Structure 1
Amino acid sequence: MVRKCFLRCLLDSHAPIALTHNVEITVGRSKLTKIKDQLCSRHQLSLTADCEECFVEIKQLGINPSGLDGFALKKDVTYKITHGSKIEILLNQFFHIIEFEPPPDGYDPPRTSLKRKLSDTSESNIKLIKTDTMDIQECSESKWEDIDKGEVYIYTAKGVKSSKNIAAFDMDGTLIKTKSVVSKLNIPAQVYIATGKGFYRKPATGMWNVLAEMKNDDITIDMKESFYVGDAAGRAANWAPGKKKDHSMADILLAKNLDLKFYTPEQFFLGHSIANVPMIQPEFIPKDVKSAPFNDRLVSSEQEILVMVGYPASGKSFIAKQIQQKSSNKYAIVCRDELGSWQKCSAEASKLLQQGKSVIVDSTNPDLESRSRWTSLAKDKKVQCRCAKMATSKAHAQHNNKFREIMKFKHGIVNDIVFNTYKSKFVEPKASEGFKEVLVVNFNPCFEDEQAEKLYRMFLLEK
């Protein structure tokens, strides 16, 4: 087994950096890390991974301090760190984590309370007035705790009281910095930090649910009087002179999911209006998805090959199983995800056709080349060939994929590269390719219970 080591940005602002076994790598201000801060040296940190023993030697080279698990490093001193160690390329900034793939044998994610800086986080998602490091060290009764095996960390400062009115802030990179907010308001803070990408990550409402259901002493939150402030609002480029577009819509979509009042930092702190600010809208609105009756035309009385076309997570497998059931198993399914290659799918399809079965080809089939294999096979076997193209858009399919990830279904999770590759290859299927007809099939949602449907109807994507 070959183990690999990566330095991963906890905000996913760049691709993971591979740390090759026994090769010194330097990181700092560069296009690779997307760090532009002049206080960060181009060679800020030295990293040397030992992929056999599962540790990394780290050394600060730059003049300004870096951080490790919440503590400042000393220049030119070598530290030995392990899987899960969190690095601040500059102290309190540019948070990364060391990850071995696969993790070291016997590794168990930490579940103990953390006594570390609030900035040491993958994403400080919902922040109920975040405090600075000095406050944490001075509050002897303050505490860290974790939820769901470290999926969420919660910092509660001394003096925090439950309330029906919640003022929630996400302060990362916003106009007003943490220290000025805390010193100005002079109230205790509670902080919620999501370390993963599941239900606890914005715009999903997992962290808010923890607050409302577990951490507010059974006091019902008044959603009309509470509010949320965040900078990921979907503002288009040049929303103010020279301003870049917002990096995502996660904050405003979280507020929409909760039906909570939302403000940008400029609105809340400076009183600016966003009435004339150009706002990017989500490509997919989950609440608009409607159930539709099964299209009986998908089942043919003639033996055939039915070629599915559509993005990953577009609903192809669900439709294929419906066809199989509606036809009393006259159709059989060949799936590339299960068999591994189109050649194996073709061989299996040939056997099934010889047995008198019709065959559903459950794979993406975006282009002429992938579809021509099946029209050719149908011609050789003297059976008809039809195409069923899913109408599911890319954004809708990505939403379905995120829903699967949160629900922890057995489907493999698909990354954006796969979606983009499908889009670049896609050619609209036509009857002239050798299909008797091309049917357009709408996605038809089906849920195990009301809770699953409620989650599905939320915004789950950050953009």
Structure 2
Amino acid sequence: MALSSQICYLRCVNTQKKVNLPHQKPVRIGRNEETGITDLHVSRNHLECTADLDTSKVILKTLGKSYSGCNGYALIQNRTYTLKHGDRIEVRLGFHEFDIIFESEDEPATKKGRLDSFAMNSNSNKKLSNSGKWEELDGRDLLIFTTDNCEPQSAIAAFDLDGTLIKTKSGARFPKDPDDWISHINSVPQKLQKLYDKGHKVVIFANQSDLSNDFSKVKGFKKKIEAIITKLSVPVQVFIATGKSIYRKPAPGMWNVFIESKNGGVAIDIEKSFYVGDEAGRENNWAPKKNKDPSICDRLFALNVGLKFYTPEEYFLGFPPAPHIMPEFDPRRLSNDAYPQIATGKQEVIIMVGTLGSGKSHFCKNFLVPKGYVHVSQDKLGSWKKFTKMLEDCLQKKQSVVIDNTNPDKESRQKFIDVAKRKQVDCRCFIMTTSHNHVKHNIRFRNITDKSQLPVGDLNLNSYKKAFQEPEMAEGFSEIVKIPFIPKFEKAEHEKLYKMFLLED
């Protein structure tokens, strides 16, 4: 039914009590007569709802101290969310449920069904299953859907989603709405049916980083997955990585969850299993009038987990393998370089040069500090005044100092050299040789394994790259020493992960 969105209100699931939401007028709901809520855990102004009758959206802002919810998910306090018709609000998480209703004045809206179950019918109209189960891990970083009739198998036929099993109906690169999809290749359903008949388990592994906190997107995407499975007409298990965690391909997180807990304890026969994906590192014109692949993450995902890899054209259409470009940095082939001789036996200032993620701070703390160098970082001290005072105090006490800043250009290095000269102390430059792509790998690894670390974006790395000036002896250095990156691991699983491809290109 098409909604004209002339009226919007909240309808209590239990009492059918209505709370009107006028066009673009904020309405605060909570513990009051209008909602019928008397729960002391709910404040009088617990949520703020603003309806837009033109777009059929409701902007929801959380105000109260007790957590609220939507569609079974907890809402983060002091956040704003975009909701739509049929979304269910829990004023207090798990309690006081209200549905969002948009309807025309002369055509009341029917109550929308939940998305937790659906009917799946094959092309022959034979009923396969009438329900499936959605699960979420790590705060919705990973969504999993399993049809009730999806059985564990040793042979796995794994697929990417967009550009592999489906494509946009509109022809746009990204779908315009949850209904903007069709089969990528006409033979996809038939091919999957044959795999299923031969004893393969069909599994989908997909990245979808745009779902975030917009519950209308999450709900719409779930419905889209269910519709796709209905079209495919075979039992399927679906893994969706929604964030930037270890679950996002090419990292192996989704595969690890699958083999450890989502295949009924049945061991995988790698020789009989494979993965099909469209992001394969192919360059422009890999086939006539074909653009380059946006990334190589599908090929790298298969490589990381040990599966044979095919592109959709190879698997569904029988195309020969197309040339592809592998990443410049290969974590499987780490350098065997060793650190050079470091200490000189006399007082000095060492100026580090290297971007975030180059291993600069690791080197300082693990190899210079144990040799008696005082570790000085403006990031920790804050102001330049505090920084220079500590540097001068250390030099006055005849201590050697290592300056752990990025120091990309001559100007940033010169002020430290000048302090050393005033104190008549030699100044050496230690420059990290870690490549740009190796740095990006380090940062991605750190973000996966240590969630206390703040993310470092490409803007920071590119700013350093743009500002970088190669250190020269003429700046006043007594020596320039190149320092390689040498990783150190506290856990065996961290070393295993580090030696996998973690970047998407």
RMSD: 3.7
Query: Normalising to structure 1: TM-score of the pair?
Result: 0.71
Aligned counterpart, 1:381: 423
Q: Which segments of structure 1 move beyond 6 Å, counting only runs of 4 or more?
A: 46-50, 83-86, 99-102, 107-110
Structure 1 distance, partners of 2:26, 2:343, is 57
The answer for unaligned runs of 5 or more in structure 2 is 1-22, 28-44, 63-67, 81-90, 95-112, 168-181, 194-232
Contact kept, 8 Å, 1:229 with 1:262, in 2: the verdict is yes
Question: Which amino acid counterpart does residue 362 of structure 1 have in structure 2?
Answer: D
**Match of 2:159?**
169
* 1:365 alignment partner in structure 2: 407
Contact 1:109 1:150 in 2 (8 A): no
Tell me which of 351, 354, 360 is aligned to 1:307. 351
Once residues 155 and 259 of structure 2 are traced to their aligned partners in structure 1, the CA distance between those partners, rounded to angstroms, is: 11
What's the secondary structure of 1:440's corresponding residue? strand
Call closer, same or farther: CA 1:100–1:161 in 2, change over 3 Å: closer
Distance 1:309-1:226 versus aligned 2 partners, 3 A rule: same
Match of 2:396 among 350, 354, 379: 354
Counterparts of 1:228 and 1:60, CA distance in 2: 45
What displacement does 1:115 show?
5.8
Alpha-carbon distance change, 175 to 411 in structure 1, aligned in 2, over 3 angstroms: closer
1:217–1:442 Cα change, 3 Å? same
Aligned to 1:323: 367
CA 1:341–1:164: 2 relative to 1, 3 Å: farther
Residue 102 of structure 1: how far off its partner (Å)? 6.3
Deviation string 1:348-377 (CA, Å, 9 cap, x unpaired) is: 211111122111011111111111111111
Larger radius of gyration: 2
Alignment match of 1:295 (pick from 337, 340, 343): 340
Q: What is the match of residue 235 of structure 1? A: 282
What residue identity is the alignment partner of 2:498? Y
Residue of structure 2 in register with 1:38 after alignment: none
Letter in 2 for 1:445: P
What code does the residue aligned with 2:148 have?
A: K
For residues 34-53 of structure 1, what are the structure 2 equivalents within 5 Å? Answer: none
Q: Is the 8 A contact 1:175 1:266 kept in 2?
A: no
Q: Describe how 1:20-419 pairs up with structure 2 within 5 A.
A: 57=50, 59=52, 76-81=55-60, 103=79, 116=115, 139-174=129-164, 176-177=166-167, 181-182=188-189, 185=193, 186-275=233-322, 277=323, 279-296=324-341, 298-327=342-371, 329=372, 331-408=373-450, 410-419=452-461
Whole-Å separation in 2 of the counterparts to 1:389 and 1:305: 14
Over 3 Å counting, the alpha-carbon distance change for 1:302 and 1:47 in structure 2 is: farther
* Counterpart amino acid of residue 376 in structure 2: V
Shift of 1:173: 3.0
* Pair 1:165–1:138, CA change in 2 (3 A): closer
- How far did 1:429 drift? 0.7
Contact kept? 2:121, 2:128, Cα under 8 Å: no
Q: Matched residues in 1 for 2:497 and 2:260: separation? A: 16
After the TM superposition, which of the residue ranges 165-174 and 336-345 deviates more from structure 2?
336-345
Q: Which string of whole-angstrom CA distances, capped at 9 and with x for unpartnered residues, describes residues 245-267 of structure 1?
A: 21111111111111211111111
User: CA, structure 1 residues 56+437, in 2 after alignment: closer, same or farther (shift >3 Å)?
Assistant: farther
SS in 2 for 1:237: coil
How many correspondences in the alignment?
A: 371
Quote the residue 2:98 is aligned against. Answer: none
Matched-pair contact (CA < 8 Å) for 1:59–1:77: yes
CA distance in 2, matches of 1:230, 1:293: 39
2-side partners of 1:370 and 1:231: how far apart?
A: 45
Give the structure-2-normalised TM-score: 0.66
Conservation of the 8 A alpha-carbon contact between 1:390 and 1:441: yes
- What is the one-letter code of the residue matched to 1:242? K
